[in-house]
Amino acid sequence: MIKNFTFQSPTKIIFGKGSISAIKREIPLEKKIMLLYGNTSLKSNGTYDKIKHALSNRHEIYEFSGITSNPDYDYLLSCIKEVKGRRIDYLLAAGGGSVIDAAKFVALSALYDGDPWEIVESFGACTKNAIPLASIVTLPASGSEVNRDAVISRKTKKAKLPFGNLAIYPQFAILDPELTFTLSNEQTANGILDTFVHILEQYLTVKVNAKLQDRFAESILLTLIEDGPIVFKEPENYEARSNLMLSSTMAMNGFLRAGVPMDWAMHMISHEITSLLGISHARALAIVIEPYLNYCKKQKHEKLLQYSRRVWNIFETDEEKAIDISLSKTMDFIKFLGFKTKLSDYGITNKEIAQIVRLLVSHQMIKLGENRNITPEVVTTILKSSL
Ligand code: NZQ
Ligand code: ZN
């Protein structure tokens, strides 16, 4: 049965072509704004000019750029210092999950007197305050634009850790599919796979007869499978880009997890692979999925069977066989998206596996999965099966 839950998704979603102009009315006039973004894409695809134009009636807009994938604590310290020093009181993040997560970390740190790393180490529990932030999504993947979570790295500590806080729900999210037309197939694929796994972490667990959450999850998986290949051929297909964008956002707005068991082991393992080897988030997920789901076939049997029937239309009566076919179709889709699916494809050996598991232990990630039975020993077995 569905557990009792409280569901909130306070972020205002403003969807559609040209919706950037809405920032003019959404950000209060008196606010001192800082625009946060990445390296080159925002300026090269014209989004930067659209933002500046929409905010042309503002006197003080500060900027902080150069935020790379897997945003780094040490790099963001100077942003925090500037935000505090200039008494910035509104952050506008324009980019993908890395930029939005960076803004969330800065928003909390701006009102925190201690070492900002304490916010990450406490998984966000050591503070309740943040300056307001909003987002303009240019890469649909993380869903950070509508949730209270973020992932920050500290390369000097080989750490990449998630945290959450009620104060960092973005005020609004601009979802303009045209802003994603310039995404490379590789980045588009990253977004599709990250969203796909977000669904699996919240859906491929234990059956609790949560019919709405299940069908909502299945509808997003079907949309990714149908429209993913379309944008590979037609990067400027507005409708397919719209469906992918909404899929990434709605996968993480909190409804799918309402009252149901969740996994997230694949994500925690992938974060360690990223922090140790610098492999991007979705690429790290792609090498964990097959060995992980194969290992968990028994405990996820009922949901895997439902998944094989409803997502891949497999009506083989032999349930084990149906599940195996659905997992191979899943891996075919992931390979079609251009992902390597073996640890050995990245030169990972037993030595790195031991390091990955040590990092998990050092970050207290020792009882993972919906049944809390994915221990360091189990992770070792799972990763070794993908060599
Ligand atoms: O730096 P620029 O030049 O802007 O290039 C960016 C960046 O290098 C490029 N890009 C973004 N929009 C573009 C574009 N290129 C062309 N056209 C556009 N419209 O894409 C590159 C990757 O961007 P990034 O923000 O790193 O990607 P993504 O959105 O996949 O975010 C990944 C981060 O999100 C975290 C991941 O761990 C990772 O750090 N996640 C956050 C979550 C959350 N807050 O709930 C959950 C996720 O599971 C994930 O962990
Ligand atoms: Zn993810």
DSSP one-letter string for 78-137:
HHHHHHHHTT--EEEEEESHHHHHHHHHHHHHTT--S-THHHHHTTTTT------EEEEE
End-to-end CA distance of the chain: 38
Identify which of 187, 188, 198 to mutate to test ligand 1's pocket (most ligand atoms within 8 A of the CB): 187
Compute the distance from residue 259 Cα to the ligand 2 centre, in Å.
20
Compute the distance from residue 160 Cα to the ligand 2 centre, in Å.
13
> Hey, whose CA ends up nearest to atom 48 of ligand 1?
142
| pLDDT score for 302 | 98
Q: Count of CB atoms within 10 A of residue 349's CB?
A: 11
The residues near 318 (Cβ < 8 Å, ≥ 6 apart) are: none
Which is the closest atom of ligand 1 to the Cα of 179?
Answer: 19
> Hey, whose CA ends up nearest to atom 34 of ligand 1?
97
Backbone angles phi, psi at 36, to 5 degrees: -110, 135
| pLDDT score for 16 | 98
Nearest ligand to residue 150 Cα: 1
> Hey, whose CA ends up nearest to atom 38 of ligand 1?
70
> Hey, whose CA ends up nearest to atom 41 of ligand 1?
142
Which is the closest atom of ligand 1 to the Cα of 139?
Answer: 12
Identify which of 50, 98, 272 to mutate to test ligand 1's pocket (most ligand atoms within 8 A of the CB): 98
For residue 85, the Cα-to-chain-centroid distance in whole angstroms is 30
Residue 289, SS3 per DSSP? helix
In order along its 387 residues, the chain shows pLDDT tens digits of 999 999 999 999 999 999 999 999 999 999 999 999 999 999 999 999 999 999 999 988 999 999 999 999 999 999 999 999 999 999 999 999 999 999 999 999 999 999 999 999 999 999 999 999 999 999 999 999 999 999 999 999 999 999 999 999 999 999 999 999 999 999 999 999 999 999 999 999 999 999 999 999 999 999 999 999 999 999 999 999 999 999 999 999 999 999 999 999 999 999 999 999 999 999 999 999 999 999 999 999 999 999 999 999 999 999 999 999 999 999 999 999 999 999 999 999 999 999 999 999 999 999 999 999 999 999 999 999 999
Compute the distance from residue 248 Cα to the ligand 2 centre, in Å.
10
Residue 41, SS3 per DSSP? helix
| pLDDT score for 353 | 97
Token digits of residue 134: 């909003």
Identify which of 76, 106, 142 to mutate to test ligand 1's pocket (most ligand atoms within 8 A of the CB): 142
Nearest ligand to residue 190 Cα: 1
Angle at 162 between CA 157 and CA 163, to 5 degrees: 115
Adjacent-strand bridge partners of 90: 33
- CA-wise closest residue to 142 among 277, 285, 295: 285
Report the C-alpha gap between 296 and 309 in whole angstroms. Answer: 18
141 lines ligand 1 (CB under 6 A): yes
Compute the distance from residue 101 Cα to the ligand 2 centre, in Å.
12
| pLDDT score for 318 | 98
Compute the distance from residue 309 Cα to the ligand 1 centre, in Å.
32
| pLDDT score for 155 | 95
98 lines ligand 1 (CB under 6 A): yes
Residue 63, SS3 per DSSP? strand
- CA-wise closest residue to 38 among 73, 5, 63, 3: 63
- CA-wise closest residue to 354 among 330, 329, 377: 377
177 lines ligand 1 (CB under 6 A): no
Pairing of strands 149-154, 159-164: antiparallel
- Evaluate whether 168 touches 159 at the Cβ level (below 8 Å): no
| pLDDT score for 60 | 83
